[in-house]
Amino acid sequence: MRVKLKGINWTNKRLADGRTVTHYYAWRGGPRLEGEPGSPEFVASYERAYREQRKPEGETFKSIITAYMLSPDFTMLKDRTRSSYQRIIRLIEDAFGDLPIEALEDKRVSQDLLAWRDSMAATPCQADYAWRVLKLIISWARGRGFTAYRPPERVKPLYYGDRSDVIWEDQHIAWFIAVAPEPLKNALTMAAETGLRQGDLVVLPWSAYDPTPSPDAPSGWIRWTPSKTIDRWHPKGRPVRIPVTRRLRVLLDELWATRKGPIILLNSDGRPWNKSATLSTRWGAASDKAGIERLTFHDLRGTAVTRLSEAGCTPQEIRAITGHSLASIHRIFERYCARTNALASSAILKLERHRG
Lowest mean pLDDT of 153-162, 164-173, 327-336, name the range.
327-336
45 and 62 share one domain: no
The domain in which residue 174 lies consists of 170-355
Gap between the Cα atoms of 117 and 90, Å rounded:
14
What was the pLDDT predicted at 30?
Answer: 67
If you average pLDDT over residues 226-231, what whole number do you get? 78
Report if residue 218 sits inside a domain. Answer: yes
Domain boundary among 127, 160, 193: 160
Yes or no: say if 297 and 166 are a contact pair by the CB < 8 Å rule: no
Gap between the Cα atoms of 296 and 275, Å rounded:
16
Backbone torsions φ then ψ of 70, nearest 5 degrees: -90, -10
If you average pLDDT over residues 329-356, what whole number do you get? 67
Gap between the Cα atoms of 211 and 221, Å rounded:
6
If you average pLDDT over residues 105-123, what whole number do you get? 91
205 and 258 share one domain: yes
Domain boundary among 160, 194, 219: 160
194 and 310 share one domain: yes
What was the pLDDT predicted at 283?
Answer: 94
201 and 270 share one domain: yes
Instruction: Select the highest-mean-pLDDT range: 45-59, 71-85, 213-227, 338-352.
Output: 213-227
- The band of 223, judged by pLDDT with boundaries at 50, 70 and 90, is very high
If you average pLDDT over residues 155-161, what whole number do you get? 80
- Residue scoring higher pLDDT (72 or 177): 177
Yes or no: say if 50 and 67 are a contact pair by the CB < 8 Å rule: yes
DSSP annotation string for 223-287: EE--GGG-SSS-TT---EEEEPPHHHHHHHHHHHHT--SSBS-B-TTSSB-S-HHHHHHHHHHHH
118 and 144 share one domain: yes
Residue 73, helix vs strand vs coil: helix
Report if residue 165 sits inside a domain. Answer: no
Report if residue 189 sits inside a domain. Answer: yes
- The band of 280, judged by pLDDT with boundaries at 50, 70 and 90, is confident
Report if residue 234 sits inside a domain. Answer: yes
347 and 282 share one domain: yes
If you average pLDDT over residues 153-182, what whole number do you get? 84
If you average pLDDT over residues 245-269, what whole number do you get? 94
Domain containing residue 83: CATH number: 1.10.150
Domain containing residue 197: CATH number: 1.10.443.10
Burial of 264 (0-12, 13-18, 19+ CB in 10 A): buried
What was the pLDDT predicted at 258?
Answer: 92
Report the domain count for the chain: 3
What was the pLDDT predicted at 86?
Answer: 92
**Cβ-based neighbours of 329, under 8 Å, separated by 6 or more:** 315, 316, 318, 319
149 and 268 share one domain: no
323 and 176 share one domain: yes
Gap between the Cα atoms of 242 and 224, Å rounded:
8
Statement: residue 214 has pLDDT above 70: yes
Lowest mean pLDDT of 79-93, 209-223, 276-290, 311-325, name the range.
311-325
What was the pLDDT predicted at 213?
Answer: 92
- The band of 353, judged by pLDDT with boundaries at 50, 70 and 90, is confident
Report if residue 277 sits inside a domain. Answer: yes
- CA-closest candidate to residue 53, choices 39, 37, 36, 71: 71
Lowest mean pLDDT of 55-59, 194-198, 281-285, 321-325, name the range.
55-59
- The band of 83, judged by pLDDT with boundaries at 50, 70 and 90, is confident
20 and 95 share one domain: no
- CA-closest candidate to residue 104, choices 158, 36, 169, 151: 151
What was the pLDDT predicted at 56?
Answer: 46
Gap between the Cα atoms of 356 and 352, Å rounded:
6
Bridge-based pairing of strands 221-224 and 209-210 is antiparallel
* DSSP conformation class of 102: G
Report if residue 84 sits inside a domain. Answer: yes
10 and 86 share one domain: no
* DSSP conformation class of 294: S
Domain boundary among 160, 193, 208: 160
Gap between the Cα atoms of 185 and 194, Å rounded:
14
Average confidence score pLDDT of the chain: 84
201 and 249 share one domain: yes
Gap between the Cα atoms of 91 and 74, Å rounded:
17
- The band of 327, judged by pLDDT with boundaries at 50, 70 and 90, is low
Statement: residue 274 has pLDDT above 50: yes
**Cβ-based neighbours of 58, under 8 Å, separated by 6 or more:** 101, 102
What was the pLDDT predicted at 1?
Answer: 47
Report if residue 77 sits inside a domain. Answer: yes
46 and 69 share one domain: no
